[in-house]
Structures are given as structure tokens and as C-alpha cells.
Chain A
Amino acid sequence: MLALDNMLYFARHHQDAYIRIVLENSSREDKHECPFGRSSIELTKMLCEILKVGELPSENCHDFHPMFFTHDRSFEEFFCICIQLLNKTWKEMRATSEDFNKVMQVVREQIMRALTLKPNSLDQFKSRLQNLSYTEILKIRQSERMNQEDFQSRPILELREKIQPEIMELIKQQRLNRLCDGTCFRKISSRRRQDKFWYCRLSPNHKVLHYGDLEESPQGEVPHDSLQDKLPVADIKAVITGKDCPHMKEKGALKQNKVLELAFSVLYESDEYLNFIAPDKHEYCVWTDGLNALLGKEMTSDYTKSDMDTLLSMEMKLRLLDLENIQIPEAPPPIPKEPSNYDFVYDCN
């Protein structure tokens, strides 16, 4: 009955809007018309639910909406605003009558969100709703989905820990593959003459570092044979970085910060050094990680962390694909007693 009252109020007091809605929807041929009668009834029901009409006032509740005090027939006005919202949202969603419930869900969300801001008047409420179009709701839902991925529960963390070593192994393989491809480095000469190039690469069996001078920057792969010098990996004692490198400690060496960050050295035979200056940060990270991996040490560069993050989170998502929308309990459920017999029967029906 209340719904009919509302519809009547709407028709009488907002005649233009009412006529527009009814005409719009009755002349649509393509099944996308919004059913006025049904939506009014459902909407009234929903508004009563939202506003808890018919329930006893709660002693502890501090919510009240100033806008309902601004108008004599505020509930009916509220209905009018909402029915127009429903019609607008219906069009935005391009809904058909099968999608009725989905539209109602979206409208409910729009109304709830507008109400939480406690508008002072019905006009304010109306303008808030204008900012909550269907596209807005979609954006809000998408950002909620993104945030849903902040997995912190215990079983998730345990799974992460379990997968981590596998991923670390992948990163190590990638680094070593890169070292096997090799990189061209610049020699910075203290006499500031023209920079020379040299190339260094790891042998496929990971046992030897081949390196040698080059006349000019190489266009493609540089084969092992063309590199004159060798350094067995087994002879490497340590990897030094930054300002501890011997070539950074030299008096005439370029001491700009940029170069310091890209410098690393390999210590072999107790006091011999092979000095590198990486062309960029990425290469620096790849080489220091790779050399550390060869020495059996941990890879600690920034790129390792970010690669680990990317790989691990994707792996987690893929493993949890089947668990979408299923609640994972915090603690493992208790294991029941063993079954009395192991005769399991398969029901073929």
C-alpha cells in the first residue's frame, strides 16, 4: 500500500518527471524498459529496510538523518528521488528485466553511500547521488577488488613462505642466464681519454668468467673465444660494491655518486681485483645478484625484491584461483578420527 501511496505522490507532485519516466519506458521496444510498477514496489520495500521503518527505535543507535526533518512529506520525496535514480541507473546499466535484482543491488549501494554522508537536505542528497553514477560504483567496486588482494591471513602467509624458495630459484636462474649472455662495460680511464670497452660473460657451465677488451661497442653476442682472459669462478673470494671498490678508492677516479652506485669488484686470489662499472642500475643489480648467487650467497639487490614481489604475487593468485569467494579459516580445522574402514564406495548415480 505504501508503494502505491508513493507512486501517487510522485505522479501528483512531480508530474513532469513522472510523465517522462512512464513515456520513456513504455515506448522502448528493446526489452530494456524499466518496469515502473515493480520497481516502485521493490524500491519502497528497500527504502523501508534501509531506514528500518517499522522496527522499534534502537537505544544505542546514534544515526539520524537531518534531511528527513526538512520536509513534511520527506519519505515520499525521498522515494521520488530514488525512483528517478533507479530509472537513471537502469539505463546506465542497460539492464533488461532479468537483471532487476542486479540493478536493485546497485541502487541500494548508491543510496547507502549517499546516506552515510548524512546530507542536510533532500537536495543535497540528490546532488550526492548524482556523483554516484553507475560508472562511479563500478570504479569503487574495482578498487575494492584490488584491495581484496591484501592477503594477510595465516594460511596465505604460510603458502607464500612455501612458494618463496621456488621463486628465488627462478630469479637465480634468470640472473645466471643474463650473466651467460654477458654485458659490455666501459673502462673509465683516469687520463680521461676516449672510453674503452670490455666485455664479460659467464660460461654456460657457470664455471668461468670470460672477459676481454673490445675495440667498439658490440652489436650482438660476443662469442667466448674472442674474449682473451678467463677467471675461474672457484677462485672468486668476494664481491665488493660501491665505495669499497679499489677502483673507486683511486685518487684520480671519478667520484660522482652516480658512478659509485654502479661500481662493483670481484676479489680473487687474495688480492687481485676485477673492477666493473655497470652501464646502469639494472645491469648492476643483475651482476651483483648473479655473482652473489655463484658464491652461494643471498641476492640482495632492489631488483630481486621487486622481481620476487611480482612473481610471487602472481603465483599466489594463480594458485588461489579456485578459492575465489571462499572463506579460508584462520586456523586449520580439526582433523577427524580416522575412518573405521577404508572401504570407500563410489556412487555412480
Chain B
Amino acid sequence: MAFFVSAGWFRGFILKNPNVKGIFPSSYIHLKNAHVKNKGQFETVIPVEDSVITEMTSTLRDWGAMWKQLYVKNEGDLFHRLWHVMNEILDLRRQVLVGSLTHDRMRDVKQHITARLDWGNEQLCLDLVPRREFSMVDPDEISVTELYRLTIAASRGGVSAVPKRGEPRDSRQLLDACFTASSFDTQSSQFPLPPLTRNFTTHFE
């Protein structure tokens, strides 16, 4: 929600439906600190919390919708496995939020979390998230080649090649081209090119 303050009321909107704006009594609102990027009409608001928490929150929400669809389409096996993983992530998220973890333990927990997030994303055919030190990298803040290197590292770390998400439009094609190029230096003796390009064509817009 974005806040405009006046006399006991806040004006703003609900994230699910950003076009409808209304006023909310301030006694119903709990304020959370946040960074505001790009102030003005097109600002993005990111709460002040460990980026892994933000990632978990949004990933869990994305998965939630897909998980319900798995149920309706009767994909019982994946439905149950994902249920376990989601519960695990919910618990890990709570551990991180409570804030009583030592640095070493926090590192372990983050590693565990990112492994689970990557597993779930792969199972649901969502995109591979490039990471540095277990946090999502902001594609706007790093160079394209750095992004490429991180992606290759992540994809070689056991997760099979899946298409990209959320990359800035300009670097996406370059990245895709780099990705197909990298397929030449994998250890597999066969040409891995056909499956990779099949995955990519669906994502070119």
C-alpha cells in the first residue's frame, strides 16, 4: 500500500487491486518501514527486511496459486511434495524473521531456503533465479555478463536449464543467446541445443 496521510486516515490501495484507491482508518494500519525506489507515479516499494524474506514471501504467494491448480488438476504427487516444501519454507521464514539466528546459522538457513526455492521453481517450471550469496540479484544493478555468469553457475549447480524470468527486456535476448552458446561446452556428448531452444522460444515476446 502507498500512504498519503491525513487526520487519522491513510489513503492508499490494496496490492491485489492497485487501481482502486480508498481511505483506511489508521488504527487498522500497521506501518512497515520500506525503501521507495523511483518516487512518484511509478514508484516501487520494497520493505526493509532481508531480501531472502521478500523473495520467500512473493515466491510462496506465486506458488500458492499454482499449488491450488495442481490440486484441481489432480497432480497428487507434486501437490503433496510441494505442500511439504511450502510448510518447510514457512517455518524457515519464521525463523529468519524472529531474528535470533547467529551469523553462521543464518547462512545455513539461507542455503537451505534457496535450495528449496530453487527446487520448487524448477518443479513448477518457473524461472531460475540467479543468486549471489543466497540473495536474489537485482538485474538492474549488475552487468549483463555478471548475470550470465551467475546464471550458468546456478544452472550447473544441479538445476536443469529453465527459461529466465523478470530479466530486463534488453538484456534478455543477449542472455538467451549466451545461454544457447553455453550449451556447447556442457559435458553431454549429444547436442543439447534442441531442448534449450524449445524452452526459449516460448518466452520470446
List A residues at the B interface (Cβ < 8 Å).
Answer: 93-96, 98-99, 102-103, 105-106, 142, 145-146, 170, 173-174, 177-178, 181, 307, 310-311, 314-315, 317-318, 321-326, 332-340, 342-348
Contacts and interface: CB of A to CB of B under 8 A. Distances in A.
B68 A344 contact: no
A315 B104 contact: no
Contact of A173 (B23, B72, B93, B97): B72
Nearest to A347: B5
Given A173-B72, A336-B25, A345 B103 contact: no
Helix, strand, loop or mixed for chain B's interface?
Answer: helix
Contact of A94 (B5, B83, B105): B105
Contacts of B179: none
A336 B10 CA distance: 11
B68 A339 contact: no
A96 B95 CA distance: 19
10 contacts: A99-B102, A105-B100, A315-B64, A321-B61, A325-B97, A332-B28, A333-B25, A336-B27, A344-B6, A347-B5
A314 B61 CA distance: 11
Nearest to A105: B100
Contact of A345 (B4, B57, B97): B4
Given A321-B61, A335-B25, A345 B6 contact: yes
A103 B105 CA distance: 12
**5 shortest interchain CB distances as A-B pairs:** A344-B4, A333-B27, A99-B102, A94-B104, A336-B8
A178 B102 contact: no
Nearest to A172: B72
A128 B91 CA distance: 28
Interface string B5-33: 11111010000000000010111101010
A145 B74 contact: no
Nearest to A100: B102
B72 A339 contact: no
A290 to B, nearest CB: 12
Given A326-B30, A333-B28, A339 B6 contact: yes
